[in-house]
Every structure is written in C-alpha cells, then in structure tokens.
Amino acid sequence: MDLVEPIFIIPCSGIGKSFGTISREAMYQVVEELRKCWTDTLCLSLLVMGDEVTGHLVQSHRCIAVDGCPLECAKKNLELADANLAANFRVIDLLKEHRNLKPKSVTFLDEAGYELAKILAEKIASKVDELTRGETDS
Amino acid sequence: MSSPKIGVVSCSGEGCVEGTLSRVATRLVLEGLRPDNTVTICLPLFLSGEKGERMFAKHFPTISVDGCEKKCAEKAIEKYSGKTARSIVVSDLLPEWGIKEPKSRRNLDENGLNTASRIADEIVVAIDDLLASGK
C-alpha cells in the first residue's frame, strides 16, 4: 500500500463523565485497530495551548473531531486553529440513537460504554473510508 | 459543612501513554481515594474559556497532573487562573522511580495500573498537605 497522510482523529479529552471516555476509546479503536494505517491522533490540549507543530499538523491534514458532550470542545478548538476539519461526531447523539445503552463508569468503561465506543468507532472508520476512497489507487 | 475542595486537573493527553497515566491516576483520586475533597476540571473546556471552570481554578487550590514536559495543564491554569498549588509531571516521576513507560496508551496493563496507582498516591500526598496547611 502507498504511504498516505494520516487523518487525525481528535477526541474531546473530557475526564469528568463517561462521554469523554467513550470518545477516547472509539478513537483508539480506529487509530490502533480499525484504520491503523490511515489515522493517527494528537493531544487536544497541546493544540489549544498553541503548540506550533500540532497547529501545523491539523491545518495540513484532514481531521475528525469526536466530542463527548454538546459543548464540542474538540470541534470548536479545531475550528479556532483553522484545522482541516473533515467531519465531526458526538457521543451524545449516539446515546439518543441507542437509549438502551446507559454507560455509568468513567475511568474504565462498562459494557454499555464499550458497546457505544464500538458503534462510534465503526462510524468513524466508515467516514475514514469515504474520505480516503481511491487515494491508494495508483 | 461541606468539605474543602481541591481541583485536580489532568492533561488527558491522548497522544502519549503518560497522558493515560495522568488521566487514570486523577480518576482514581476523584472516585476512590479523596472523593469528598476533589473535583476535576475538563481541560479543553477550561481552555475554551468556560467561566465556571476558570472561576473555580481562580478561587480554589488546584493540582495539575501532566503527562509530559509540555505541561499543558499547569501552563493553562497559570495562564488563566493563577498559580497551581502543586504540579505533578508523570514523565519526571517514571525515571525517578526507575519505571519504564507502559506500552499501550489505550489500555494500561497490570504494571501500568500499578504505576497509575502510585501517581494517584502522589496526588493524595499533595492534597493532604494542602488540606493540612489550610491553603
């Protein structure tokens, strides 16, 4: 396979509720398993603190924001950094679609949390496929 | 009377395993070790200018828990809300303890969890010290 520029998957980093943990777990599933060769991540805090290298990376690569709650810290901060934002997802929207899944634990996800993270990861992976379609045909 | 509160702010960095250690250690303190005396602040929310988070950090003592030498949590608090009461940097502690960084930033193995637990103990020492000094 040709080398491709990674798409950065950037979760919100929240640690106060399970939503942030779900966004992070979904990101890791994509970056480390589902679309390992196509994606990477970086620290949102580093971007927001004005790190030049991180700022350049999000401007020069496509990014997908994955937010836990409606405050959308990842999406908003990527927009503020003039990032190349290709898509965004919110755990809160997923919860509305899957009302039977009620995640409770924060530090280590429970079964419902992992299930939601898995569903979200598959949605992100599909978006990565859509964005990269045809890019290695050479 | 409510217990005195201290803010424990983790860098949450997803890009490196030290971020995972700082995040898990912070949660261990919040959930198990000192639940009555601690609250956390969502760092990106704080950085985005959320007034409640910044006011809290301005009026209550905070302990920053950073994964790496970039010290995003410490710098953010000091930039917007004043000096942190204590600062813990995981990447400084690991060599001091002779501990190699865990391999997975996603799931901590047994050694990683033990390390997170040791970092949590460091946070607790800082909390108890602050509570004792009444600062």
Question: For chain A, how big is the Rg over CA atoms in Å?
Answer: 15
Q: Which residue of B lies nearest to A48 if distances are taken between CA atoms?
A: B47
- DSSP-assigned letter for residue B87: E
- Contact state of B11 with A45 under an 8 Å Cβ cutoff: yes
pLDDT band at B1 (very low <50, low <70, confident <90, very high): low
How many Cβ atoms from other residues are within 10 Å of residue B99's Cβ? 15
**A42 touches B at CB < 8 Å:** yes
Structure-block tokens of residue B60:
């209550």
Best residue of B45, B77, B80, B90 to probe chain A, by most A CBs closer than 10 Å: B45
Tell me the pLDDT tens digit for each residue of A51-64: 999 999 999 999 99
Domain annotation covers residue A138:
no
Chain A hits for B75, Cβ within 8 Å: 49
- Indicate the residue type of A44: L
Domain annotation covers residue A134:
no
Q: What does pTM read for this prediction?
A: 0.90
Q: What is the pLDDT of residue B84?
A: 95
Q: Which residue of B lies nearest to A13 if distances are taken between CA atoms?
A: B12
Distance CA B115, CA B25 (A): 8
**A77 touches B at CB < 8 Å:** yes
Strands (E), A35-125: 39-40, 62-67, 84-90
Which residues are A62's β-sheet partners? Answer: A84
Q: What is the pLDDT of residue A41?
A: 96
pLDDT at A136 over 80: no
Distances in whole angstroms, Cα of residue A10 to Cα of each of A33, B17, B46, B47: 16, 16, 17, 16
Domain annotation covers residue A135:
no
Question: Quick check: helix, strand or coil at residue A28?
Answer: helix
pLDDT band at A17 (very low <50, low <70, confident <90, very high): confident
The nearest CA of chain A is from the CA of B91 a distance in Å of: 16
Instruction: Give the least confident one: A74-88, A122-136, B114-128.
Output: A122-136
How many Cβ atoms from other residues are within 10 Å of residue B96's Cβ? 7
The nearest CA of chain A is from the CA of B32 a distance in Å of: 11
- Contact state of B106 with A12 under an 8 Å Cβ cutoff: no
Domain annotation covers residue A1:
no
Give the pLDDT mean for B21-37.
Answer: 95
Domain annotation covers residue A5:
no
Q: What is the pLDDT of residue B18?
A: 95
Average pLDDT over chain B, rounded to an integer: 91
**B126 touches A at CB < 8 Å:** no
- Contact state of B12 with A13 under an 8 Å Cβ cutoff: yes
pLDDT band at B25 (very low <50, low <70, confident <90, very high): very high
pLDDT at B108 over 70: yes
Q: What is the pLDDT of residue B135?
A: 63
Distance CA A49, CA B17 (A): 19
Domain annotation covers residue A31:
yes
Tell me the pLDDT tens digit for each residue of A85-124: 999 999 999 999 998 988 988 888 999 999 999 999 999 9
User: What is the count of structural domains for chain A?
Assistant: 1
Global ipTM: 0.86
pLDDT band at B78 (very low <50, low <70, confident <90, very high): very high
Q: Which residue of B lies nearest to A42 if distances are taken between CA atoms?
A: B15
- What is the domain range of residue A72? 10-129
Q: What is the pLDDT of residue A1?
A: 46
Distance CA A135, CA B66 (A): 38
C-beta separation of B27 from A18 below 8 A: no
Distance CA A23, CA A11 (A): 6
Give the pLDDT mean for B58-67.
Answer: 92
Domain annotation covers residue A93:
yes
Chain A hits for B73, Cβ within 8 Å: 45
B81 phi and psi angles, rounded to 5 deg: -135, 5
